[in-house]
Amino acid sequence: MNHEPVMLNEVLELIKNCRHQKILDGTLGLGGYSEAMLKNFPECFVLGLDRDQQAINFSRERLKNFELEKRFLACQKNFGSLSEIPDADSFDVYVFDLGVSNMQITTPERGFSFQSDGPLDMRMNPDENSLTAREVLEQSDEKTLAEIFWKYGEERFSRQIASAVKKNKKPLETTGDLVNLIRVSLPQPVQRKMGTHPARRIFQALRIYVNDEMQELENLLKFMENFNHEALIIFVSYHSLEDRIVKKTFREWQSSGTGKILTRHPMTPSELEVKNNYKARSAKLRAFFTIRH
């Protein structure tokens, strides 16, 4: 499976300049970051977290040699529940890539992609007792849907699309059903001016809402603000709302004397990386170094 960790060289360079005996990969995914860290820093131990059991299984197979060496351990856990992990506040490095993994996007049965037809699910952990995207569309009123589309997708036509969803008489069962509805609800001239797939922002908004991603990020940052040891914290985000939350929190931490911002401006991928990996185009990397206080 094709998997290119975003801004990997930048992440490794930041880690190289800090103590890195214990590293927490908070969004394990397909194991790209973990593998690179284990290979580049032979003395380190990596704990990989992911709420998606498929990702855990894939990464454990990919990194089984490191697991046998007791240098790698995978755990099915959401980073928003980091406080539930023993000694979670004792790692030297914390890395979080807030994007969706290639496995989720390229598996139609998961319902994440607007380019492949599959059930409207979008749950990163299907075992969690949460609503699917289909249930959110069915059970939410028009106003709520418009708010979801606008807040989490920054979709300019949120009200128009929400209205089309609620007026639609045929149940939306698949991702293809939703894509077709969005295409029908927006005039062709509008779609041509978008510069991207007309369903992209709606799918993004539903995914974030279904998985409560913003609250999980808030929970994580709330836990880490009480760190009382030296640690490097790295976030790679792809959504302006996520990036604003991280940026604001880092500034608050620095003002309170918790540590120092290492990226005055967010690091962004090179033109070459974007050319080779289109997923990286909207990535922003921010880093912070906590201090003992």
Per-residue pLDDT tens over the stretch 66-98: 999 999 999 999 999 999 998 999 999 999 999
User: Following CA atoms 19, 20, 26, 31 in sequence, which dihedral angle do they give, to the nearest 10 degrees?
Assistant: 150
Out of 2.40.160.40, 3.30.70.1140, 1.10.150.170, 1.20.1440.120, select the CATH number for domain 131-210: 1.10.150.170
Model pTM greater than 0.85?
A: yes
Whether the per-residue pLDDT at 1 is higher than 70: the answer is no
Give the confidence band of 169 by pLDDT, cuts at 50, 70, 90: confident
Instruction: Give Cα separations from 25 to 153, 232, 281 (angstroms).
Output: 26, 12, 22
pLDDT surpasses 80 at 280? yes
pLDDT over 90 (residue 128):
no
DSSP, collapsed to helix, strand or coil, labels residue 52 as coil
Confidence of residue 126 (pLDDT cuts 50, 70, 90): confident
- What is the pLDDT at residue 99? 84
The mean pLDDT value of the chain amounts to 92
Mean pLDDT across 125-143: 91
Write the CA distances from 145 to 64, 110, 137, integer angstroms: 43, 21, 7
Find how far residue 186's CA is from the centre of its chain.
28
Residues of the chain with CATH 1.10.150.170: 131-210
Kindly report, as residue ranges, where domains of CATH 3.40.50.150 are found in the chain. Answer: 8-104+213-290
Look at the block and give the residue holding tokens 């967010």: 266
Beta strands 45-50 and 22-25 are: parallel
CATH class of 8-104+213-290: alpha beta
User: How far apart are the C-alpha atoms of 235 and 238, rounded to whole Å?
Assistant: 10
DSSP secondary structure of 198-266: TTHHHHHHHHHHHTTHHHHHHHHHHHHTT--S-EEEEEEE-SHHHHHHHHHHHHHHHHTTSEEES-SS-
